[in-house]
Structure 1
Amino acid sequence: MGTTPEPDTGLLRFVRGPGLAAKTQARLNEAIPGEFFGYPDGLTVQDRHALTYRRLRHAGLTAPPATELLAEPPALCALLERAAIADPGLFHLMLLHYTLALGPILMFGTEEEGPREARDSLESMDSFGALLMTEVGRSNSHLAPRTLARYDAATREFVLSTPDGEAAKFPTNTAHPALAKTAAVYATLEHEGREHGVFVFAVPVRGPGGQIPDGVEIVPAPDTTGLMVDYAAVRLRELRVPYSAWLRDDARIDASGAFHDPAGSAAARLTRSMGIGPAVWRAVVSVSAAITRASAVVLHEHAAGRVTLGRLAPRHPLTGYRNMGEAVLGSLASAYALTAVAGHVKRPAAGAAAGPAGPEATWAPWSAVDRDLALLKAAATFEAQDTVAMCRVRCGAPGFAGTDRLNGYRGLSHAYMNAGGDNELILFDTARAMADLDRYTPPAPAGDLAEDADLASPQVWLHAAGESERRLRDRLSARVSEALEGGQDPFHAWNDNLALAQATALACADRTMFEIVAAASEEGPAELAPLLRLFALDRLERRSGSLLNEGVAGPGLADRIWAARREVCDELAPRAGAIAAALDVPPEVTAPTAFVLPG
């Protein structure tokens, strides 16, 4: 394996995709310059947070306007990708600011009376965006937040209240004492003694200089290093906000005090209020690909040219050992596969912007917004987490202590297995829709996988994943139906089958990803095909237990996967350096031992 050869040009074109206008790309690079790829040593936690927010302000004032970014997913994703590679904490704050604070204002605010001051302060970076959605004391709190917004007709205001500590909003990025924060608050609207569903309110929770207004209580959380943000819990105590703070969409309260909502039901309104989800999921998928690319390059640069002192072959190249060589190439393959998935979700047709696009939800609202995009978010973060964690371990002590980069990427991938929609809840709702055939059509029967099936063929990946998905779905549906017919209530009927439900949804995710990478393998450069083949082989190995359990494949499957992987790795190994270089990772992302190698 080489160290720093010229990038493979075909793969480089694939990674860069159709590309942004040169002027836009230059602005994004200027928004997050090289100096943002790291922090000075010796900063206190609060100093670090302050620097992150200064960087966020610089990025917001230098990048294209927020309205343009939110209207052009590839541009917003490119900005967020660069932010995540530079600093996961910066990415997290940027995602909150653009998609989850400004996004609802632009989506649900009305022209004539929307929260103009809140919008202006966020767009000018005079205030930073925050999200007050989940509540600390109860799981699945998205479905029924206990924070209430009661309408006061006498003053034409809403009164926002969290009834107790368990209803406090957490996590939020509101702890820094000297910064203005404007929050998107999710609350159940109550009017004339009736609850009318979940709406969003634009609320300043810290004024200029960080002043906390009357009616807001902020309790900073202990310092943490997992994803470094100024976390805090927020309680609202009879906080009065104007009618215009209500991001009412097409709902209204008329002059007579009557409530009107064309959504038609509290459940439909919840789905509508969560309609900002697709923008978040596109970003998370794209960033999962970005940090996987960066991690794969770090591992490659750590391993390339390195020798070992093992007694079987002293001074043998590290990557000459199958376990390490296949790990390096496997991480590169994962990076290219996730890049294909990211390219897919950034297309305009991928993901609905609003309205109920998916099946009814049971555990969380996400699948009702867009089942397929939510599922791809879960699949991408699972893949990124596995790959980033493997890269960190394979870099040994330098990957852990020589730099915080891989630790930061791992913290980010971990965080977004829950953030942006909990992965397990997404899987459960996906599986429920599959079992009930709720806007879902199973793959056609394909039969068992032949013992001599060519595992290098995309058609074989799709055959294996699709047949496993169909059989799992059939078993899940039969088990739940049998339990219900036998007198079990829905909770116990599903609770006894959650492991099967998770496997069923994961099979659907595998098949969906295989469809995307198979198309990329066919349409992309010839150099891409063996990399995506290696990704598919690794994923088939990960699912081999399920394939065997469902009878899709027989004994010996692992041996055949290992043999096919050795073959494709032998093909790729001589070009590993060019493959890594084509991932187009910024030069500031270096190998973990670079700090001891100044010259």
Structure 2
Amino acid sequence: MALDSERNTTFNKDALRLLLHNKIMPTVSLERLREIREKAKKVPDLLVSFEKYHMTREQSINNAIKHGLAWKAFMDKENLNRDERRVVLGFNTELSGHMLHYEFFLPSLELQASQEQKEKWVQKIENLEILGCYAQTELGHGSNVRGIEIEARYDEKTQEFVFHSPTITATKWWIGGLGVVSTHALLVARLIIKGQDYGPHAFVIQIRDLATHEPLPGVDVGDIGPKIGLHGNDNGYLRFEYFRQPKDSMLNRFAKINANDEYEIIDPNAMKILYLSLIRARSSLIFDAWYPITIALTISIRYSLIREQFPDPENPKKEKKILDYQIQRYKLFRMLGRLYAIICARPFIKSLYTQAEEKLNNSDVSDLAFLHCIVSLYKSYVTFNALEAIEECRRSCGGHGYMMLSGLPSLYAEYLPSVTYDGDNSILALQSARYFMSLLRKPKQMPETLEYLSENPSIPQGDAHCPIFHQKCFELAARNRFRRLVVRERALLSQGKKKDIIWNSDLQVEAIEACEAAYYASIHGYFVKSILAIQDQSIKNTFENLRQIFAASELERFNGELARAGITGETLDRIKAVQLEGFDKIRPDALGLVEIFEVDDEVLNSVIAKKNGLIYQDMLRTSKYLNPLNKERVFPGVKKQLKPKI
């Protein structure tokens, strides 16, 4: 096949495949993962066809429902556990209602429900007797959870909650799976008892009749309309007009209304625990970001090895593969380094989350603030970096990358909202910045991984290839930016300005810039730690090449900061040279480093990235025979409108 000669690598493929698998999906064996994938490929309704690119909105939603039902049937037939069913999720990059039901609705309920409520709901959810969504965001409030307006007033006479939308902005909005599919919602609403507002609490409520699927009286629900992408996801709106639900609809693991109709706190950290469901959703975005980048890089690197342009100076009778041009390597190999950095950081972030969750189960919230800071930081920059990588890959494929049939435009559109949902990236970065600032005020409480922020300033010294030198450069940029932020805040406070006003009007840009540096210091540090643990020398060398590309590429963001701190132009030039050298070192392994993830053609859904390399034949066949516009020799609109005029 056309690409066979490119599949030779300098590293041990089996060893690398296992290493990556254990970082990404350690709870499912590689053999089991492959078994599930092979079986899933034989279920047509689980696969996304090229017809997707020609579907109307209604067809897309019908297709998503069909896919969700096929997913559930496959889960039952193969007896998949919760980790195994995520393997099949990878066959469709869209967020369908069924996926949101299992991946967001169910975990959020399990986190906040009492044991009795779990016994009532969990099996129904698992069996798909009901279909649920997570309804938090409102028309007027997104990131500001405390500003949510929908009311849940407790009526002690009837032992019911009365849900009501008192304003236009008190309308749930953007809720995935709500528009046409869901029968139930995990609703975040303001709890009001005897006139006292206790703030946002979680409720599980039925919104549609289980027999007819009609909205229940007092419920106004529907789809919000077309979006840039995710056409199969029925994002919806939801309003209430004095809608009643029973007392046990309030999830009461942490707080409840007791027998005397009084608010009773079971755990004083209830509000913080509610935030853990948000942290969980944000964590999943971090943990899953490797996948769309992998798809984009597999498509673009394969294409770049097949596509040839202009005569090769060393062989004028033959055109040159576009991956052998330095600028193409610059576009793609920087993103390849970024992919492996994100994967290497993944287990460390996962460990932080698991540790905090275990403590939380014992009502210990001591790790929650730090976890919130780190997850918010990573969600902000990992999703932005992933989106940037997808678009860079699309542009690297030239005109063909603009075709929907390349698979890249839809991948970009489907991933695009990740920088906004589950917390706008700018808002989350600001939340992280304020936490970092609180640590700088009390340096004795500084976690070990952030101690560099309070170290005395010094100019990093060392070889331009050295991981310690690179790490010190990232830390220098973060430390200096936060120190200037501290000085600015003190100066503004000394002028009599209030802290909240300062953080709304004066410090936001510099705070986000400081967080950017802290993110790269963190992820590069994890990259270095991950490489130190690798035993196979061939893999270690490959990872080090990728790390050098990553470090040299991302340090360019901070050249001004580094020069300001005293690092010479000559040193910055040497760092740049490391990046360019790295491109040549990685070139022989480029295809192997993306195909190691074994993303099937059926998942790539791209005419420009076939594993057999026969892309031009497939492009012509697909465009000619699957395009509805080509079904008739003369387009009907031409006959009806244009022809009479000419």
Is the pair's TM-score, using the shorter chain for normalization, greater than 0.5? yes
Q: Is the 8 A contact 1:461 1:536 kept in 2?
A: yes
SS at 1:568's partner residue? helix
Post-superposition CA distance 1:387-416 (Å, at most 9, x none): 111001111222221526222322233211
Are 1:206 and 2:208 an aligned pair? yes
Q: Which amino acid aligns with 2:555?
A: L
Distance 1:402-1:219 versus aligned 2 partners, 3 A rule: closer
Are 1:326 and 2:309 an aligned pair? no
Are 1:88 and 2:103 an aligned pair? no
1:210 Cα deviation (Å)?
2.8
Distance 1:405-1:496 versus aligned 2 partners, 3 A rule: same
| Alignment correspondent of 2:340 | 336
| Alignment correspondent of 2:292 | 291
Partners of 2:529 and 2:434 in 1: how far apart?
28
| Alignment correspondent of 2:524 | 514
| Alignment correspondent of 2:195 | 193
Distance 1:138-1:402 versus aligned 2 partners, 3 A rule: closer
1:94-109 equivalence runs, <5 A: 96-109=100-113
Of 46, 70, 90 in structure 1, the residue corresponding to residue 58 of structure 2 is 46
Q: Which amino acid aligns with 1:308?
A: Q
Post-superposition CA distance 1:414-462 (Å, at most 9, x none): 2111112221111101111111216545413351134xx3232221121
SS at 1:475's partner residue? helix
Partners of 2:407 and 2:213 in 1: how far apart?
30
| Alignment correspondent of 2:303 | 302
Of 139, 143, 148 in structure 1, the residue corresponding to residue 146 of structure 2 is 143
Gaps of 5+ in 2: 622-646
1:576 Cα deviation (Å)?
1.8
Q: Is the 8 A contact 1:151 1:159 kept in 2?
A: yes
Are 1:425 and 2:453 an aligned pair? no
Gaps of 5+ in 1: 360-365
1:159-558 equivalence runs, <5 A: 159-174=162-177, 176-177=179-180, 179-208=181-210, 209-228=212-231, 229-264=233-268, 268-309=269-310, 315-347=319-351, 350=354, 352-353=356-357, 354=360, 357=365, 370-403=372-405, 405-437=407-439, 440=446, 441-443=450-452, 444-445=455-456, 447-450=458-461, 453-494=462-503, 495-524=505-534, 525-526=539-540, 527-549=542-564, 551=565, 553-556=567-570, 558=572
Q: Is the 8 A contact 1:122 1:128 kept in 2?
A: yes
Partners of 2:412 and 2:287 in 1: how far apart?
15
Q: Is the 8 A contact 1:186 1:199 kept in 2?
A: yes
| Alignment correspondent of 1:56 | 68
Distance 1:597-1:335 versus aligned 2 partners, 3 A rule: farther
Partners of 2:346 and 2:5 in 1: how far apart?
27
- Bigger radius of gyration, 1 or 2? 2
Partners of 2:117 and 2:513 in 1: how far apart?
47
Are 1:128 and 2:136 an aligned pair? no
Partners of 1:578 and 1:218 in 2: how far apart?
48
Partners of 1:82 and 1:334 in 2: how far apart?
25
1:293 Cα deviation (Å)?
1.1
SS at 2:276's partner residue? coil
Partners of 1:167 and 1:368 in 2: how far apart?
32
Q: Is the 8 A contact 1:31 1:63 kept in 2?
A: no
| Alignment correspondent of 1:363 | none
Q: Is the 8 A contact 1:187 1:199 kept in 2?
A: yes
Q: Which amino acid aligns with 1:536?
A: A
1:302 Cα deviation (Å)?
0.7
Partners of 1:175 and 1:474 in 2: how far apart?
46
Partners of 1:188 and 1:369 in 2: how far apart?
26
Q: Is the 8 A contact 2:148 2:170 kept in 1?
A: yes
Are 1:15 and 2:15 an aligned pair? no
SS at 1:325's partner residue? helix
Q: Which amino acid aligns with 1:597?
A: Q
SS at 1:198's partner residue? strand
Partners of 2:390 and 2:366 in 1: how far apart?
31
Post-superposition CA distance 1:279-322 (Å, at most 9, x none): 32332112211111111111101101422127988723312221
Partners of 2:240 and 2:313 in 1: how far apart?
66
TM-score by length of 2: 0.82
SS at 1:155's partner residue? coil
Of the structure 1 ranges 202-211 and 284-293, higher mean CA displacement relative to structure 2 is found in 202-211
Post-superposition CA distance 1:92-128 (Å, at most 9, x none): 6455222431112211211234572x43432112333
Of 589, 593, 596 in structure 2, the residue corresponding to residue 575 of structure 1 is 589
Partners of 1:103 and 1:88 in 2: how far apart?
20
Partners of 2:71 and 2:419 in 1: how far apart?
26
1:378 Cα deviation (Å)?
2.0
Distance 1:300-1:543 versus aligned 2 partners, 3 A rule: same
Q: Is the 8 A contact 1:436 1:477 kept in 2?
A: no
Q: Which amino acid aligns with 2:209?
A: G
Post-superposition CA distance 1:170-199 (Å, at most 9, x none): 10134654x343211001111111111221
1:23 Cα deviation (Å)?
4.3
Post-superposition CA distance 1:486-515 (Å, at most 9, x none): 111223322211111001111111111011
Q: Which amino acid aligns with 1:96?
A: L
SS at 1:247's partner residue? coil
Q: Is the 8 A contact 2:219 2:238 kept in 1?
A: yes
When the two chains are superposed, the root-mean-square deviation of aligned CA atoms in Å is 3.1
Partners of 2:206 and 2:320 in 1: how far apart?
61
Distance 1:212-1:578 versus aligned 2 partners, 3 A rule: same
Partners of 2:398 and 2:254 in 1: how far apart?
55
Post-superposition CA distance 1:449-478 (Å, at most 9, x none): 34xx32322211210111221221111112
Q: Is the 8 A contact 1:201 1:247 kept in 2?
A: yes
Q: Which amino acid aligns with 1:46?
A: E
SS at 1:276's partner residue? helix
1:348 Cα deviation (Å)?
7.2
Distance 1:585-1:6 versus aligned 2 partners, 3 A rule: farther
SS at 2:175's partner residue? strand
SS at 1:597's partner residue? helix
1:217 Cα deviation (Å)?
0.5
SS at 1:436's partner residue? helix
Of the structure 1 ranges 504-513 and 304-313, higher mean CA displacement relative to structure 2 is found in 304-313
Which structure features the higher share of helix residues?
2
Of 584, 592, 599 in structure 1, the residue corresponding to residue 598 of structure 2 is 584
Distance 1:188-1:269 versus aligned 2 partners, 3 A rule: farther
Distance 1:100-1:367 versus aligned 2 partners, 3 A rule: farther
| Alignment correspondent of 2:637 | none
Distance 1:68-1:579 versus aligned 2 partners, 3 A rule: closer
Q: Is the 8 A contact 1:300 1:328 kept in 2?
A: yes
Distance 1:251-1:28 versus aligned 2 partners, 3 A rule: farther
SS at 1:338's partner residue? helix
Distance 1:484-1:82 versus aligned 2 partners, 3 A rule: farther
Q: Is the 8 A contact 2:98 2:177 kept in 1?
A: no
1:146 Cα deviation (Å)?
0.8
1:201 Cα deviation (Å)?
0.7
SS at 1:88's partner residue? coil
